[in-house]
C-alpha cells in the first residue's frame, strides 16, 4: 500500500483514500515555507548592525522595536489566517500571507537612519502579519495529514521556522558587510528569496481528502491517545471543539499562559543573543553572528525533540521540562565568561524555547481536536505575541545601558521557574466540559 493509493476495508477498520497526494512531500513543502519565515529569529544580527556607529547608531531599545512589532503582529495574522484556512483551505492563506510577508521585508530595504518608519511598516507590520498568516497553515494542515504522529510532525514543521536563522544569520551578516553603512539593504535580496521559497512550497499545500486515514493506521489506532480526555458519558466519539467552545474552557487559557511564559523566557535571550555573547562571553562580532546561526539549529531541533518526546511522556511533563530548563539556564548565563559554556547554556534555552512551539500545536489538537485547529491554535498564538513583546522589552529595560545582564536574566529565569505551577494544574477537558 502506498501513500497515494489505498482502499477502505470495513472488516479491519482501515480507511484510506484513493488518489491522496504524498503527505511526506507536503511536509517537505511546509518545512521550506517555514525556513523562509523563520528568518525573523536572525534579527539580533540586524539589530546589532543598526546600532553600529558606522551605520545608524541607534540605541539598543530603538533597534529592537522592529522585532517587537513583527512578533506582536504574528498573532493578528495567525488568527485571521487560521479562520480563513478552516473555511477556504491552506494554499490560498499561505500564498497570500507569503506575498505580504515578502513585500514587507523588501519594503524594509529602503529604510535608512531618517526613515525608521519604513522598518516598522515593512518589516514589522506587513512582515509580522504575513508571517502569522503563513505560520499557522502547516501546523493546522499537517495534524490532519499525520494523526498517527502529531507531536513529531508538527515539531518537524515548526523546526523549519527555528532553522530559518541558521541560513539567514550568516547570509544576512555577509550582506550587511557589503554595505555596513546601510545594513537595511540586505533585506532586498532576502525578501526576494523568501518570496520564491514560499510560492514554491505553498503551491503544494492542501488538506487531506475527507475521511483520510494514513496507510497502516486503523480507525481504532486513530482513537484517543495519551493526554486525550476520556469520555465519561454515553458518547461514541467526541466531536471536536469549535473555537467558541474551546474559549469557554479554562484549559485554553492555561495552555496559552504556558506558551506566553515560555516565549517570554526564551525570546529574552534570543533578542539579545549577539550582544550578550559579546558582552558576557567575549565573542567577536563575527563569532557572535555565527553563534546566533548555530543556536538556531537548537531552536529548530528542540521543536522536533520536544514534540517527539511529548508524545511519549505526556504534554504537561514536557512543558515542565521546557520551563524548568529555561529558568535554570537563564539564571546561570550572566555568570559564565567561558565561551563554550555560554554556548551550551544558550543552546539549552533555544532548544526549550523551540520545544514549546513543537509541543503546543499537538497539545491543543489533543485537547480540542483538529477540525478547527487553525482558529483555535491561531488564536492561542496571542501568547507568542504577548511574550514576544514583553520578553525583549523587559530584558532591554533591565539590562539597560549599564549592561546589567545578571539582573535581567535572573528576573526572567525566576519567572520561568514560577511558571512551572501551570502545567502542574492543567488537565485535558472532559466530555462534560464539551457538552456543557
Burial of 234 (0-12, 13-18, 19+ CB in 10 A): exposed
Cα separation, 118 vs 98, in Å, equals 19
Backbone angles phi, psi at 145, to 5 degrees: -80, -25
DSSP 57: -
Mean pLDDT of the chain, nearest integer: 84
Q: Is 430 helix (H, G, I), strand (E, B) or coil?
A: coil
pLDDT of residue 223: 44
pLDDT score, position 157: 81
Report yes or no on whether pTM surpasses 0.85: no
- Among residues 15, 12, 108, which one has the least CA distance to residue 65? 108
Q: What gap in Å lies between CA 61 and CA 133, rounded to an integer? A: 27
Residues 6+ apart with CB under 8 A from 47: 60, 63, 64, 67, 271, 274
Distance from C-alpha of 279 to C-alpha of 257, rounded to nearest angstrom: 32
Beta bridge partners of 8: 15
Show the domains of the chain with their CATH numbers.
19-208+239-435 (1.20.1250.20)
| Integer CA distances (angstroms), 132 to 18, 76, 99, 108, 147, in order | 33, 7, 12, 18, 24
Q: Which of 68-77, 115-124, 203-212 has the highest mean pLDDT?
A: 115-124
Does residue 339 carry a pLDDT above 80?
yes
Q: Which residues contact 9 (CB under 8 A, 6 or more apart)?
A: 15
CA dist., res. 325 & res. 302, Å (int): 12
Q: Return d(Cα 129, Cα 345) in angstroms, integer.
A: 32
Q: Residue 100 burial by CB count (10 A; 0-12/13-18/19+): exposed, middle or buried?
A: buried
Distances (CA, A) of 415 to 46, 202, 348: 28, 38, 17
DSSP code of 231?
Answer: P
* pLDDT for res 224: 41
User: What's the distance, CA 35 to chain centroid?
Assistant: 11
Residues 6 or more apart in contact with residue 331 via CB below 8 angstroms: 409, 410, 413, 414
Residue where the block lists cell 504575513 = 130
Q: What is the pLDDT of residue 72?
A: 82
Answer with the residue of higher pLDDT: 16 or 71. Answer: 71
Q: Which residue is associated with the grid cell 525578501?
A: 191
Q: Say if residues 218 and 133 touch (Cβ distance below 8 Å).
A: no
Tell me the pLDDT band of 228, cut-offs 50, 70 and 90: very low
| Residue 109 DSSP class | T
Q: Binning pLDDT at 50, 70 and 90, where does residue 218 land? A: low
C-alpha cell at 411: 528576573
Q: How far apart are CA 128 and CA 75, in angstroms?
A: 8
Average pLDDT of the segment spanning 115-127:
93
106-135: average pLDDT: 93
pLDDT of residue 217: 61
pLDDT value, residue 291: 87
User: How large is the C-alpha radius of gyration of the chain?
Assistant: 21
What is the DSSP secondary-structure string of 333-373?
GGG---HHHHHHHHHHHHHHHHHHHHHHHHHHHHHH-STTH
Q: How far apart are CA 417 and CA 434, in angstroms?
A: 32
| Residue 311 backbone phi and psi in degrees, to 5 | -70, -20
Return the ∠ at Cα 43 (arms to 37 and 44), rounded to 5°. 150
Amino acid at each position: 500500500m502506498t501513500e497515494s493509493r489505498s482502499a477502505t476495508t470495513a472488516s479491519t477498520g482501515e480507511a484510506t483514500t484513493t488518489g491522496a497526494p504524498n503527505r511526506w512531500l507536503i511536509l517537505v513543502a511546509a518545512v521550506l515555507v517555514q525556513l523562509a519565515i523563520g528568518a525573523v529569529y536572525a534579527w539580533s544580527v540586524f539589530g546589532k548592525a543598526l546600532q553600529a556607529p558606522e551605520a545608524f547608531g541607534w540605541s539598543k531599545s530603538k533597534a529592537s522595536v522592529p522585532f517587537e512589532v513583527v512578533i506582536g503582529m504574528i498573532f493578528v495574522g495567525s488568527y485571521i489566517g487560521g479562520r480563513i484556512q478552516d473555511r477556504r483551505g491552506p494554499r490560498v492563506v499561505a500564498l497570500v500571507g507569503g506575498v505580504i510577508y515578502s513585500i514587507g521585508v523588501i519594503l524594509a530595504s529602503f529604510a535608512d537612519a531618517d526613515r525608521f518608519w519604513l522598518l516598522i511598516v515593512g518589516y514589522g507590520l506587513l512582515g509580522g502579519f504575513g508571517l502569522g498568516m503563513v505560520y499557522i497553515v502547516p501546523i493546522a494542515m499537517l495534524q490532519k495529514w499525520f494523526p498517527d504522529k502529531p507531536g513529531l510532525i508538527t515539531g518537524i514543521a515548526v523546526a523549519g521556522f527555528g532553522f530559518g536563522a541558521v541560513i539567514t544569520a550568516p547570509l544576512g551578516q555577509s550582506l550587511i558587510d557589503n554595505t555596513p553603512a546601510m545594513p537595511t539593504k540586505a533585506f532586498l535580496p532576502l525578501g526576494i528569496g523568501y518570496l520564491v521559497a514560499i510560492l514554491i512550497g505553498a503551491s503544494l499545500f492542501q488538506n487531506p481528502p475527507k475521511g483520510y486515514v494514513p496507510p497502516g493506521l486503523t480507525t481504532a489506532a486513530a482513537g484517543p491517545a495519551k493526554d486525550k480526555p476520556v469520555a465519561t458519558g454515553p458518547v461514541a466519539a467526541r466531536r471536536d471543539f469549535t473555537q467558541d467552545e474551546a474559549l469557554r474552557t479554562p484549559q485554553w487559557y492555561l495552555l496559552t499562559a504556558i506558551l506566553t511564559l515560555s516565549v517570554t523566557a526564551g525570546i529574552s535571550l534570543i533578542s539579545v543573543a549577539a550582544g550578550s555573547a559579546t558582552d558576557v562571553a567575549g565573542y567577536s562580532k563575527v563569532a557572535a553572528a555565527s553563534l546566533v546561526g548555530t543556536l538556531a539549529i537548537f531552536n529548530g531541533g528542540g521543536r522536533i525533540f520536544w514534540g517527539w518526546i511529548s508524545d511519549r511522556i505526556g504534554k504537561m511533563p514536557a512543558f515542565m521540562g521546557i520551563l524548568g530548563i529555561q529558568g535554570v539556564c537563564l539564571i546561570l548565563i550572566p555568570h559564565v565568561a567561558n565561551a563554550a559554556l555560554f554556548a551550551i547554556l544558550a543552546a539549552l534555552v533555544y532548544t526549550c524555547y523551540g520545544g514549546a512551539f513543537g509541543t503546543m500545536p499537538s497539545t491543543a489538537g489533543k485537547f480540542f481536536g483538529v477540525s478547527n485547529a487553525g482558529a483555535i491554535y491561531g488564536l492561542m498564538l496571542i501568547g507568542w505575541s504577548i511574550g514576544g513583546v514583553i520578553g525583549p522589552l523587559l530584558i532591554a529595560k533591565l539590562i539597560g545601558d549599564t549592561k546589567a545582564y545578571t539582573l535581567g536574566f535572573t528576573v526572567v529565569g525566576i519567572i520561568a521557574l514560577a511558571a512551572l505551577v501551570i502545567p502542574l494544574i492543567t488537565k485535558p477537558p472532559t466530555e462534560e466540559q464539551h457538552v456543557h
